[in-house]
Amino acid sequence: MAFSKNSLWVHIIFSTKNRIPYLSWNVRNDVCSWLKEEAFKNEILIDIVNGVDDHLHVLLKLKTKQSISEVVKWIKGSSSYYLNKKYNWEPKFSWQNGYAVYSVSESNINKVRQYIFNQEKRHSTN
């Protein structure tokens, strides 16, 4: 995968529909691993993905020809399909409409990585 210096780092956040807590620790680890592997096969460079039981954070580097909306559409659509096929939940799993996206400067990449990596700790009630 070739990335130019003009590539854009983005932090994307999206939630489960109605904030239903589908993403237990095991499920979250499963879908995050699967998502990184499948994204790479589709020329989407996910640096880190993590979250808690009702939402995910993704740090990725967009190629100059990729659009945020198309990449997010692929991430949400493919992961919904994967989760429904693997876990067969009722009601069916889906992501809430919309997402938040923030551009990330090169100088803040490590801070954002740590923020995403520490999601469980940040959301802990202890």
Residue-wise pLDDT tens digits, 22-34: 999 999 999 999 9
- Sheet bearing 100-104, strands edge to edge: 45-52, 55-62, 8-15, 100-104
- Map out the domains of the chain with their CATH numbers: 8-122 (3.30.70.1290)
Q: What is the pLDDT of residue 121?
A: 77
Q: What is the pLDDT of residue 12?
A: 98
Q: What CA–CA distance (Å, rounded) separates 83 from 80?
A: 5
Residue-wise pLDDT tens digits, 32-77: 999 999 999 999 999 999 999 999 999 999 999 999 999 999 999 9
| Average of per-residue pLDDT across 90-113 | 96
Give yes or no for residue 125 having a pLDDT over 70.
no
Q: Which pTM value belongs to this model?
A: 0.91
Closest CA to 11 of 79, 74, 71: 71
